[in-house]
Structure 1
Amino acid sequence: MDTLIQEFRVAYTSLKGDQLAETLRPDLESNAGKLQAIWNRGDARSAKADLQFLFYQDHSRPRLSKDETNGWYEIYLAYWKAVGEILAAEGLRTDAKSNWTSVYEAWKELTSLIIRGYTNHDFENWTIPCLYLAGRYLRLYAIRADEERRRSGDDAVTSFQDDFDPETEEHKQLEDCARHLNRIFTLCLSDRAPLEESRKWGIYYAINLLFKTYFKLNAASLSKNVLKALSASKGDMPSIDKFPASQQVTFKYYEGVLAFLEENYVESIKKGDLRAFDKALQEGEDEFIKRRIYLTLERGRDIALRNLLRKVFIAGGFEEAKDGAVPVRRTRVPVAEFTAAMKLKSGDDIDADEVECLLANMIYKNLMKGYIAHERGIVVLSKNGAFPGTGV
C-alpha cells in the first residue's frame, strides 16, 4: 500500500493524468508484484486505515477538496477489493477462490465510482485517463466472464426458465458492460465546461470502446446512435485531428466499416461509375498501398458494378400487366443491355463474352440473383431481391 500511496501523491501533485491512471492498472503481466504487495498489506480494516491516513490525516497529502478526497478514497478502496478478486481468479491467493464474473462485478463498482467522481466529486479533466483505463478493463473482464461462463456451462441452470434467451446469456456481462461504457460516453459528451477544462477530450476513446463492444455483440447498428449524438454535438467538440493518432485511426476504421455496412460508399460506387472508380483508385494507389488498404478498396469495384447492373435492371421498367394484375419488373434482361451500360460507364471496349463472365461472377458472389441463358443471350433475374442488400 505504501508504494501505491506514494505513486498517487506524485501523480496528483504533478497533475499527470496518465501517471495517475497507472496507479489503478490491474494488469498482472506488468504489475503482478505490485498487486500482490497491495493485497498482502492485510485485511479490509488495514486497507481502510492506510487509505484514511493518506486522504484524511497525512499532512503531506495532496491538497484536495473534501468532495475529491471522499471520491478518491472510495475509488482506491474499491481498487483494493478488485485486486483481491483478480488475484483469486488467477489462483494467486491461498485464502480464497474467485471467478471472472466476480472480478467483473468488482471492477464495475470501481468504474461506477470513477464516473461518479466527475458528477459528484469535482474531478478535473486532467484525470480522464482514469476513465480510459476503467472502461478498457471493464470490457476485457466482461469478455473473460462470458467466456468462463460458457465453458463451465453455468447457463444450463437457467435454461429451463420461460424467459431464457441463449443469445442474451452468451454475452451477459458484455451487454452490461456496454451500458456502463455508454455512461462514460454520455459523461464526456454532455460536459459544458470550456474546452481546455472539458471532459470532451475523452470522447473518442469512449466511442472506440463502444464500437468494439457493439461489434463484439453483433450489434453494430447501435453504433449509429453514437455517431448521431456525436454529429449533433460537433459544434462544441474539438476537431478530431486534435486527438491522439491512435484514437483517430481506430475511430476512422470503425466509421468506415459502418459506412460499408450502411452502403454509404464513395460517389462512384453509388452511381455505378466504373470509370470514376478506377480513376480514383489509380490516383490514390500509392497512398492506399502505403496504408495497406488498396486491396480492400479494390474489392469495392464489385459493389460499383452491382449498382450499375441494378440501374440497368430498374431502367428496364415493368412487364405489361394482364387482367388487372399488379405490374412486376421485367426480369429477363438482354446481355446486350448490360454490355452497353458497362461500355458507357467503364470506357472499355468490352465484348458480350466478357460481360457474361462478369455477370456469372456477380451471381456467384451473391451480388445478384438469377442465371444466364447463354443461347438466348439474356439474364433471367429473380423476381424477389434480384440485387441483395438494395431492396430490389
Structure 2
Amino acid sequence: MAQIMLAHYLQLIERCWKAQDGEKLASFLSLRHEHTRSKHLYTDRPESMIERFISSPVDELASYHLKCIFFISNNQYIQAYQQQSNLTQCIARVLQSQKEENWLLPVMYVVCLDLRLLAQRAEKERAGVNEKPGEILEKAAECLMGCFRVCAADNRSSEEDTKRLGMLNLVNQLFKVYFRINKLHLCKPLIRAIESSPFKESFSLSQQITYRYFVGRKAMFDSDYKAADEYLTYAFENCHRSSRRNKRLILIYLVPVKMLLGYIPNKKVLEKYNVLEFWDLVQAVCQGNLKLFDEIMEKHEAFFINCGIYLIVDKLKILAYRNLFRRVYLILNTHQIPIDAFQTALVYLGQTDVDLDETQCIVANLIYENKIKGYISHQHKKLVVSKQNPFPSLTSLS
C-alpha cells in the first residue's frame, strides 16, 4: 500500500512538472498540504522509487521534500530544516537554469515560506543547547537570499515572464527573519532594490501591505516618523477589514508614531482593535500627568516590551512635558515663565530627581522639537514664549 501511494504521489509530481503547473506543483511540495499527513509517504530513502517515476531535475525536489516530511513526522526539526534548506537551494538552481521561464515562482514562494517556518521551529528545538541563538535563521536567510539574487538578476523587461515579480515575496520573508534576529540593517539594500524596481506597482496588494508594514517599523526604529507614518498608514488602510489581527499588529506601531507626530488616536479605534493600553497613555500625555505616565509605563511594561515598542513609547513623555508646561503657562498667564515654576510642577508630579538644570534641558528640547515657540533667557532663568500660539496644538486623529 505504501509503495502504491508513494508511486501515485510521484506520478502527480511528474505530471505537474511536464505541464509546467507551478501552483499544483507548489501544493505537492508544501509542508502544509494534506499529503504530508500520509504515513505512506514517510521515508528517509525515497531514491529508488523516485528513479522509477520522475526525471531530472524535479527528482531532487521530490527527494528533499519526502525526507523533510519524514523527519518532521519524527519531530526531528533540525534534520527536517536541513532537507528543506537543500530543497530551497535546489529551487534556486533550477530557477536560474530556466532562463526564459518563471512558472516555478509559486513553488519558490511555498518552499521559502516553509524554510523560514522550519528554521523557527528548529531554533526552538535547539533552545537551551550551547549554540549561537539565531544561527539557523541566519543560514535560512542566506538560502532565501540565493533565491532573491536569481530573481533580481533576471533583466527581461516583460512583466509576464520576469522572475523579478518574485522579489517582494522574498524580501518579506527576509524581513521576517531579520526582525526576529534583530539585524534590521540588512533590510536597507532590500528596500533599495524594491523601491528602484520597475515592477514596484505590479506586486500583489497583500505583498505590498506586508512590505510597507515592515519598512514602516524599520523607519520607526530609525526615528524617521514621517516615513513610518506613511508606510504604516498605507498598510493599515489597505489591510482587509476582516483581517483584524493584522490590522491590530499594524496599529500597535502606527499609534505611537502618530502620537509622536502630534496626533491623538480615536478611542473607538483603539477599542475596536483591542489596544486600549494606548488610551491610558493618551490620558496621561494629554493631561501632562507625568506621575500617571510613569505608572502606566510600569503597568503595561510587558505589553510594550513584547511588542518591541517600549523605548519608542517612552519618547511620548516629551509630549507629557509639553502639556504640563502649557498648563503652567496658562496658570501664570505670562509670556515670561520662570524655569523654577516648571521644576515645581515636575516635583509635584513625582519627578523629584529633576533639578533646575535638567528642567532647563527639557524646556530646550521642547523648543528644539518645535513643541514650544520661544527661547530661554539664561540670564533671567526664564522661558520667553511667542505671543502667537506658543504651544502648537495637537491634532485629533479620527
Matching residue within 97, 121, 139 for 1:176: 139
Matching residue within 144, 147, 150 for 2:121: 144
Change (3 A) 1:207 1:106: same
| 1:39 to partner: Cα distance | 2.6
Change (3 A) 1:78 1:123: farther
Q: Which one-letter code corresponds to 1:183 in the other structure?
A: G
Counterpart of 2:257 in structure 1 is 300
Counterpart of 1:22 in structure 2 is 27
1:79-228 matched pairs, under 5 angstroms = 79-89=65-75, 99-120=76-97, 124-151=101-128, 153=129, 155=130, 169-193=132-156, 194-228=158-192
Counterpart of 1:238 in structure 2 is 199
| 1:81 to partner: Cα distance | 2.2
Change (3 A) 1:186 1:260: same
- Asked whether 1:254 is paired with 2:208, we answer no
Contact in 2 for aligned 1:211/1:223 (Cα 8 Å)? yes
Partners of 1:198 and 1:125 lie apart in 2 by 6
Dislocated runs of 4+, deviation >4 Å: 267-270, 285-298, 352-357
Partners of 1:256 and 1:298 lie apart in 2 by 12
| 1:211 to partner: Cα distance | 0.4
Which deviations, in whole Å up to 9, do the C-alpha atoms of 1:148-174 show, x marking residues without a partner? 1114x3x1xxxxxxxxxx7xx011111
SS at match of 1:381: helix
Q: Which one-letter code corresponds to 2:23 in the other structure?
A: D
- Asked whether 1:38 is paired with 2:52, we answer no
Partners of 1:171 and 1:111 lie apart in 2 by 19
SS at match of 2:103: helix
| 1:87 to partner: Cα distance | 2.0
Which deviations, in whole Å up to 9, do the C-alpha atoms of 1:129-163 show, x marking residues without a partner? 11111111111121122211114x3x1xxxxxxxx
Partners of 2:49 and 2:56 lie apart in 1 by 14
Which deviations, in whole Å up to 9, do the C-alpha atoms of 1:178-222 show, x marking residues without a partner? 111111221111111332211111111100000000000011121
SS at match of 1:379: helix
SS at match of 1:299: helix
Contact in 1 for aligned 2:23/2:106 (Cα 8 Å)? yes
Q: Which one-letter code corresponds to 2:162 in the other structure?
A: S
1:46-61 matched pairs, under 5 angstroms = 47-55=46-54
| 1:88 to partner: Cα distance | 2.3
| 1:300 to partner: Cα distance | 3.2
Which deviations, in whole Å up to 9, do the C-alpha atoms of 1:30-81 show, x marking residues without a partner? 43433x22235xx73xx334322323xxxxxxxxxxxxx5221222122222
TM-score (normalised: structure 2) = 0.59
Change (3 A) 1:247 1:217: same
- Asked whether 1:351 is paired with 2:309, we answer no
| 1:226 to partner: Cα distance | 1.0
Partners of 1:51 and 1:18 lie apart in 2 by 21
Contact in 2 for aligned 1:100/1:141 (Cα 8 Å)? yes
Contact in 1 for aligned 2:228/2:257 (Cα 8 Å)? no
| 1:13 to partner: Cα distance | 4.8
Q: Which one-letter code corresponds to 2:224 in the other structure?
A: N
Which deviations, in whole Å up to 9, do the C-alpha atoms of 1:273-331 show, x marking residues without a partner? xxxxxxxx9xxx9999976667854533543369xxxxxxxxxxxxxxxxxxxxxxxxx
Counterpart of 1:266 in structure 2 is 226
Which deviates more from structure 2 when the two are superposed, residues 207-216 or residues 128-137?
128-137
Partners of 2:322 and 2:51 lie apart in 1 by 80
Q: Which one-letter code corresponds to 2:137 in the other structure?
A: L
Contact in 1 for aligned 2:64/2:87 (Cα 8 Å)? yes
Contact in 2 for aligned 1:21/1:129 (Cα 8 Å)? yes
Partners of 1:127 and 1:364 lie apart in 2 by 63
SS at match of 1:126: coil
RMSD (CA atoms): 4.5
| 1:379 to partner: Cα distance | 2.7
Change (3 A) 1:246 1:87: same
Which deviates more from structure 2 when the two are superposed, residues 258-267 or residues 7-16?
7-16
Partners of 2:179 and 2:239 lie apart in 1 by 25
Which deviations, in whole Å up to 9, do the C-alpha atoms of 1:242-270 show, x marking residues without a partner? 32332121111111111212222328999
Change (3 A) 1:364 1:266: farther
| 1:123 to partner: Cα distance | 8.1
Contact in 2 for aligned 1:181/1:210 (Cα 8 Å)? yes
SS at match of 2:182: coil
Contact in 2 for aligned 1:269/1:301 (Cα 8 Å)? yes
| Matched pairs, number | 283
Partners of 1:15 and 1:364 lie apart in 2 by 70
Partners of 1:135 and 1:15 lie apart in 2 by 19
Contact in 2 for aligned 1:111/1:134 (Cα 8 Å)? yes
Change (3 A) 1:119 1:299: closer
